[in-house]
Amino acid sequence: MSKRDFYEVLGVDKSASADEVKKAYRKLARKYHPDVNKAADAESKFKEVKEAYDTLSDPQKKAHYDQFGHTDPNQGFGGGGDFGGFSDIFDMFFGGGGGRRNPNAPRQGADLQYTMTLEFKEAVFGKETDIEIPKEETCDTCFGTGAQPGTKPETCSHCNGTGQLSVEQNTPFGRVVNRRVCHHCEGTGKYVKDKCNTCGGKGKVRKRKKIHVKIPAGIDTGQQIRVSGQGESGVNGGPPGDLFVVINVKPHEFFERDGDDLYCEMPITYVQATLGDEIEVPTLQGKIKLKIPAGTQTGTNFRLRGKGVPNVRGYGQGDQHIQVRVITPKNLTEKQKELLREFGELSGNQAPDEQSENFFSKVKRAFKSFND
């Protein structure tokens, strides 16, 4: 099945800015996160959204995608970046092999990726934890040679240890030499006769390794942590690859995060809004007092500087934005109703009669979550 257009997946235009792409991704990631959305297709949609963001948030990948879409521009040359048959033609005409990679040269191991899901509080304050990942490591029995202890790899008799086979061919340009990787030793120049019983001659074994990871305070969904040297082991003595820990953060019931800033709603009573008051507000650092001026209207915003999320790179701290919501009373006594009717007659306004119990419950839980 063909992939959907990445811009369509995120619901943004091709001219969308990096911030617009990021906001669209965060919104959809929260919507389809498997820990939140239990629908059967939530996980596949979450992966689709993440793949689209990984491409469109990287300028180089985005430029490539804008030019070629999902099509690999190298497919017309025999697949991959090796240019397949084209290399053979080049070798035929120019006596090639010079552009091929030395199969015995040291090569860095492959990078690994691990996805970690964090609670909102863990992402805000950071944590240290151990994770287990499956990875290939050098065999402890043969120490990477692939040969049974007491033996060693032998020189390949087909290529005499060069790792290449030369074939002479007649062409319109004369007789040329076409060099190819030796299929007997796969270009290593060596042949393992007595293979190691532990790794089967591969020189590597797959293990589950425990790795200690430090999660910095302020990390957010889509960001990743690089753990150097914890990827797959290198080839021919090359260095190991790296491990990239990709972060997903569960949404919070009370706080909404945008970058380093936090947004929340606070309920106040009709009397508090009219006469003014001082209320307690939950923050990441604990409860604080917030002064509500007399005559405050529902939807009024207040800003608490430095009460947001710590910047993951250590550049200060965001702000907390509070929007107040006036909750109308219910279950009034006759005396209260009479007073409100009298007030309404004097002011010419009708008093509302609803409020949200669930909203107050959310605030109570928010007070508790950051004080546990």
- Tens digits of per-residue pLDDT, 103-113? 667 878 889 99
What tens digit of pLDDT does each residue of 129-152 get?
999 998 888 888 888 888 888 888
The per-residue pLDDT of the chain, averaged, comes to 81
Mean pLDDT of all residues in 62-86: 57
What is the DSSP code string of 80-112? GGGTHHHHHHHHHHHT--TTSPPTTS-BPPPPE
The annotation status of 264 as a binding-site residue, yes or no, is no
What tens digit of pLDDT does each residue of 297-322 get?
999 999 999 999 999 998 999 999 99
Sign of the torsion angle spanned by Cα atoms 20, 57, 34, 38:
positive
Mean pLDDT of all residues in 57-74: 76
CATH topology of domain 256-327: HSP40/DNAj peptide-binding domain (2.60.260)
Q: Which residues of 31-50 are buried (b: 16+ CB within 10 A; e: fewer)?
A: ebbeeeeeeeebeebbebbb
> Which range (66-70, 96-100, 302-306, 337-341) has the least confidence?
96-100
Q: How confident is the model at residue 43 (pLDDT cuts 50, 70, 90)?
A: confident
pLDDT at 78 over 50: no
Mean pLDDT of all residues in 156-168: 80
pLDDT at 331 over 60: yes
Of 22 and 237, the one with more pLDDT: 22
pLDDT on residue 305: 95
Model pTM above 0.95: no
In three-state secondary structure terms, 169 is: strand
pLDDT at 86 over 70: no
Q: How confident is the model at residue 74 (pLDDT cuts 50, 70, 90)?
A: very low
pLDDT at 283 over 60: yes
Q: Give the architecture (CATH level 2) of 6-70.
A: Orthogonal Bundle (1.10)
What tens digit of pLDDT does each residue of 171-208 get?
666 667 777 878 777 777 888 888 898 888 888 888 88
Mean pLDDT of all residues in 317-332: 90
Helices (runs of H) and strands (runs of E) counted in the chain: 9, 15
pLDDT on residue 156: 84
Q: How confident is the model at residue 99 (pLDDT cuts 50, 70, 90)?
A: very low
> Which range (161-170, 210-219, 355-364) has the least confidence?
355-364
Report the relative pairing of strands 243-249 and 112-118 from DSSP bridges.
Answer: parallel
CA 57/CA 61 separation, integer angstroms: 8
The annotation status of 196 as a binding-site residue, yes or no, is yes
Mean pLDDT of all residues in 225-232: 91
pLDDT at 93 over 80: no
Report the relative pairing of strands 256-258 and 261-269 from DSSP bridges.
Answer: antiparallel
Type of residue found at 289: K
Which of 73-82, 157-166, 170-179, 292-301 ranks highest by mean pLDDT?
292-301
Residue 354: other Cβ atoms inside 10 A: 8
Beta strands in 154-193 (DSSP E): 154-155, 164-171, 174-181, 190-191
CA 203/CA 139 separation, integer angstroms: 5
Distances (CA, A) of 227 to 125, 126, 215, 245, 340: 20, 16, 11, 8, 64
What tens digit of pLDDT does each residue of 233-281 get?
887 778 888 999 999 999 998 999 999 999 999 999 988 999 999 999 9
Mean pLDDT of all residues in 109-123: 92
Which residues are CB-neighbours of 175 under 8 A, at least 6 positions away?
168, 169
pLDDT on residue 100: 53
Q: Domain limits of the chain?
A: 6-70, 256-327
Of 200 and 212, the one with more pLDDT: 212
Distances (CA, A) of 194 to 145, 148, 245: 11, 6, 39
pLDDT more than 70, % of the chain? 82
Mean pLDDT of all residues in 39-50: 85
pLDDT on residue 155: 85
Looking at residue 203, the DSSP 8-state letter turns out to be S
